[in-house]
Amino acid sequence: MIGRVGVLGAGVMGAGIAAQVASAGVQVVLLDIVPGMAASAVGAMLQGDPPSALRESEAGLIEPGDLRDDIGKLADCDWIVEAIFERPNAKRDLYARLDAVRKDGSIVSSNTSTIKLGSLTNGLGARLAADFLITHFFNPPRAMPLLELVVGHATRPEVVAAMRDFAGGKLGKTIVTCADTPGFIVNRIGMFWIASALRHAIDLSLTVEEADAVASRPFGIPDSGIFGHLDAMGIDRAEELAKSLLSALPPGDAYHTVYREEPIIVRLLAEGRTGGRAKGGFYLMPGEAADGEGRVLDLASGEYRLVQPVELDSLAAYATDLRALAGHSDRGGRFARAVLLDTLAYAAALMPAIAASTEAVDTAVRLGLGWTWGPFELIERVGPVWLAEGLRAEGRAVPEMLEGAMLAHYAEAAC
């Protein structure tokens, strides 16, 4: 039974996890390496708006502290979750310190979003490995229902059962078990989708508005599309995740091919324009413009301009017919086709390496990214035959599982 929780790292994710645990009526020790940061995080959440707001009664269950001086307070915690920055060496150093003070049988987990479990526990001993797993929450933790769970070969079954009971029961999460692969499910597919959409939008000379209009509702993706999504997650955060994946994925992985360092991204990062929480990103909100009108980034010039209406024949005619949209000859149709072929072929090629079932992948992507359909549900919508023929027409390999889906399709059609 988990009756007291330790959270290491009081940034956005760590503080959010602490708030969700406290909202379930469970005591939390929240520690950060920066003195006073944990207390400041609690204070900020008390002043915040939903979904990150914290009630006084919940705040009373959170005990803030300093990792340097207060690590001993973790000794009676039943579960300790680490939510510091994505650097394996820093995480392992912290686990070594933690292992010296934690009680026998306490659960230790990481909120890492890209790093494999095996990389985190390497060289740290059997005691920690037996009690360790990955619990990947999504931001903001109190609002996002998904929890990606990664279990190691040495993880005790009792640890897995206790975490499933607590996270699925007390915290109300939908738990999807992922294989121990870089980026797990959501970030592996989501970051590939971002790289593909960004690359093709620039190469096809789409405007930000055009790309977001195509890569949103027709795909069953939120209206933010690709560029709005980058602003929401933080362009700096997206690049951090991209670099982590690039370093972790094998050289033959298609992410290395689709990802490209874009000059416009480099410029935005250099100028501190990292999205909605900074000086703007691809969009400049009305309150940030001198005249009070919203603006959007011109991808060619790098300057902001007024938002323009989207006038694409493909979108006007086929906004509800994804296959027809992707078959249109204008730049909107070519963009839709390119992103569909890239993303769906990649998802198919990852099976069964990233999860035990396509249903698990679809559930994770729907809940983690807010898509209406997961990648395999999208394959069903466009048809595996259409997808495979599109790949062959471009001289690309057809994933093995997609060939299997085609055979099943033909068999069903023949009945």
- Comparing CA positions, the residue from 34, 18, 102 lying closest to residue 69 is 34
The whole-chain average pLDDT of the chain stands at 93
The order of strands in the sheet holding 295-297 is: 283-284, 295-297, 304-306
Contact 295, 289 (CB under 8 A): yes
What the block records as the tokens of 221 is: 């993706």
Cite the residue boundaries of each domain of the chain with CATH code 1.10.1040.50.
186-414
Cite the residue boundaries of each domain of the chain with CATH code 3.40.50.720.
4-178
CA-CA-CA-CA torsion for 59, 83, 165, 64, nearest 10 degrees?
Answer: -20
What percent of the chain shows pLDDT beyond 70? 95
pLDDT tens profile 128-181: 999 999 999 999 999 999 999 999 999 999 999 999 999 999 999 999 999 999
Per-residue model confidence (pLDDT) at position 414: 46
pLDDT tens profile 248-301: 999 999 999 999 999 999 999 999 999 877 778 999 876 666 666 789 999 989
Per-residue model confidence (pLDDT) at position 199: 98
CATH architecture for residues 4-178: 3-Layer(aba) Sandwich (3.40)
Residue 287: CB atoms within 10 Å: 7
How far does Cα 381 stand from its chain's mean position? 24
Read off the pLDDT band of 101 (50, 70, 90).
very high
Is the pLDDT score of 8 beyond 60? yes
Is the pLDDT score of 415 beyond 50? no
Per-residue model confidence (pLDDT) at position 339: 98
Per-residue model confidence (pLDDT) at position 278: 74
CATH architecture for residues 186-414: Orthogonal Bundle (1.10)
Contact 174, 266 (CB under 8 A): no
pLDDT tens profile 174-223: 999 999 999 999 999 999 999 999 999 999 999 999 999 999 999 999 99
